[in-house]
Structure 1
C-alpha cells in the first residue's frame, strides 16, 4: 500500500507539473510581458548599457520572442549559473536565455527542454601573456578560477585528468567574481566558454595582456531553455530563432523586411514572412509575427555582428556560427 501511494503521489506531481507548465503562450499574452532569465553581467550577451537598458546576443533572442508573441515588455531576472535552472523549473521565468549548454542530463532529468543552438561554442582558457604559456598542457599545478553551477567545473576536471596533470580550483558563484579574482592575480587561469572569456576579458584592467589558449576542451552548444510539457511554447521559441537564421540565408534584414514581404517572389520567403500560407497562425501567432521579429532584432547575422562580431569588444569571428552555405553549422529547417 505504501508503494502504491508513493507511486500515485509521484504521478500526481508529474501531472500537476505538466498542467502548470502548459499554456505559457496564453499566459504571456494575457499578462502582457515575458519573464526571462538572463546573465547578471556578461558583455555581448546580457549587460546594461549606458542608458540602463539590457542589451546583448541572448537579450536579442528574448526580444525576438517577445515580438513574435506581440508583447511589449520583458521582465528580466538576472541569475547566477546555480540559480538559472531552478528559476525555470519553478516557473519564476518563462524562458532561460543565459549561455546555457545543451546536455543530456538537462534534457532528461530536470524537466527542461532545449530549443535551438544559437551559438556553437567550446570551453577555453585565458592566461596572461607574461606567463609565456602556449598550450594548456603546460598548466600542471596551476590555479584556475571558474564559476560553480556550470559545465565548466566538470569539463576542466576531465581535461586535466585525461592529460595527467593537476590544478587547484578557485571557485565563485558569480562570473564577475571569477574575473576579478583572476585579474587581481589570485589565479593563473580563467576558464569558461570561449565567448565568455572574450566577454570577461573586455572588462579587465588591461585586456590586451591576456590571451585565449588554442585548446578547445569541450563542445558547448548554447541556446534558450523552456520547461517540458508545453510543446506549443517550445515551438514558438524554436521557430522564432529559426526565422532569424533563415532570414539571413534569404537576405531578409531589419532594413528591408517590409520590402521583402511586399515584393519577394521567393515562395519560402513569402511563407516565412507570413504573406502566404498559415504557418504562423498554426503556431498560435498572428501573421504579422515574423515581420515584427525581424524589424525588432534583424536576422541572425545582424544579431551576431551587433553583439559579438569583429567590430565589438569581443572581436569574435563567425566560425562554426556561419551559415551552412558559408561552411558553418547555422541551418534552419524549411518553412513549409
Structure 2
C-alpha cells in the first residue's frame, strides 16, 4: 500500500481525468482507490511500526478497495489535515474521504460531497489535567480551551459555553499534534474534541495519567466516509461496503468463518455472499463483492475491536456503535 501526499490542485486542472468516465472506471483503470485519511489519529488512522496505515477509517478504505477491485491492499492513502480534506475530495485528489469527519447538513449540501453512512457514532467531550480536580464540564467557566481549527469543535464550544452562561479563552491549533502538544505544555487547561480523538491523544501523552476525559458529551458527531456528489454509482459502492460489514456482523459471518457459509441455507447469508442473486451488478461489481470485503477486511465487529475496541489499547466500549439488537444504534438496510 502506498502513502501519497500531493499539493492540492484546482478542479480545472483535474477536469480531463473526470472526463474519462465514472469514479469506478477511474479506480479500476488506476487499479487503486485514493483514500483521504488522518495522518495521525491512532485507532482511526495512523502509521504503525511498519509504516502502514492502520485504523477503523483506513479499514473502510480497504473495504471499498476489496469491493471495487477484489483486493483490499489496493489503496493509496493520502494524509490530509482538517482544512485541506474537503478541497482534496472536491478537486478529485482523492476518490473517498474517510477521516473522522462529522456528517452535518452544511457539509452534505454545500460542499459538493455526500456522506455515505456512519462508521462511528461519536460526540465532543473535554479532557482536563488531572491535578485540576475538575469533575464536570460545568466547572470550566473561564478556562483556556485548546481546540483544532477547521472542525465542528469550534462551533460546539461556543454553543456550549454560551448556553451555560460561561466564558472561555479559545486556544486554536491547526492539527491534532499541535493541540495535544499545547495541552501537555500547559498552554490551556482543557482540550476539547471528539471523544474518540481525546482517548487517542491521551494515550500519546508522556504520562496518560496526567489527564482525564470528563463524562459530558456535548454534541452529536456522526463520523463517516464521504464522496463527491454527482456519481451515484460510486456513492452506492462506498455506502454498501459499510452496510455489508454491518450485515455480516448481524449474521455472525466473519473473516474466520465465512468459508463455512459457502452453502448456507440462510437466504440472507446467501444473498450477502453472492450465492443467491447478484446484488453487486447494480453497482458494476462482481457478485462476490461483499464476500471479498468480509474475507479480506472483516465484519464491523472485527474492525471495531482490533482498532478501538477490546482488541486495542483503547478498549472503548461499543456503546452507540453496538448493533441495534445489542442496545446500540448501528443498523444496516438488508441486501435483497
Q: What TM bracket, shorter-length normalisation?
A: over 0.9
TM-score, length-scaled by structure 2: 0.92
Match of 1:64 in 2: 63
Return the alpha-carbon distance in structure 2 between the equivalents of residues 215 and 321 of structure 1: 18
Spell out, residue by residue over 1:26-46, the C-alpha distance to the aligned partner (whole angstroms, 9 max, x if none).
110111011110001000000
Relative to its length, the structure with more helix (as a share) is 1
Q: Distance in 2 between matches of 1:310 and 1:270?
A: 30
Question: 2:281, 2:105 → 1: CA distance?
Answer: 32
Aligned to 2:255: 254
- Indicate if the aligned counterparts of 1:22 and 1:229 stay in contact, CA closer than 8 A: no
Mark the runs of 5 or more structure 1 residues left unpaired by the alignment. 1-12
The equivalent of 2:50 in structure 1 is 51
Other-structure match for 2:194 = 193
Instruction: Answer whether contact 1:33 1:75 (CA < 8 A) is retained.
Output: yes
For the residue of structure 2 that corresponds to 1:133, the secondary structure is: coil
For the Cα contact (< 8 Å) 1:99–1:222, is it kept in 2? yes
2:229 counterpart residue number: 228
Count of residue correspondences: 320
Q: CA deviation at 1:263?
A: 2.6
1:283 and 2:283 matched: yes
Which residue number corresponds to residue 298 of structure 1? 298
Residue 25 of structure 1 pairs with residue 27 of structure 2:
no
Q: Runs of 5+ in structure 2 lacking a partner? A: 1-11
Q: What is the deviation of 1:295? A: 1.3
1:99 equivalent to 2:100? Answer yes
1:268 aligned residue: 268
Matching residue of 2:86 = 85
- Name 1:184's counterpart in structure 2: 185
1:282 positional shift: 1.9
Q: Normalised by the size of structure 1, how large is the TM-score?
A: 0.92
Deviation for aligned residue 1:20: 5.4
Aligned 8 A contact 1:323 1:330 in 2: yes
Please list every run of at least 4 consecutive aligned residues from structure 1 whose deviation after the TM superposition is greater than 6 angstroms.
none
Distance 1:123 1:320 in 2: 14
More deviation, 205-214/225-234 = 205-214
CA distance in 1: counterparts of 2:149 and 2:123, whole angstroms: 17
Instruction: Work out whether residues 21 and 227 of structure 1, in 8 Å CA contact, stay in contact via their aligned partners in 2.
Output: no
Contact 2:272 2:291 (8 Å CA) reproduced: no
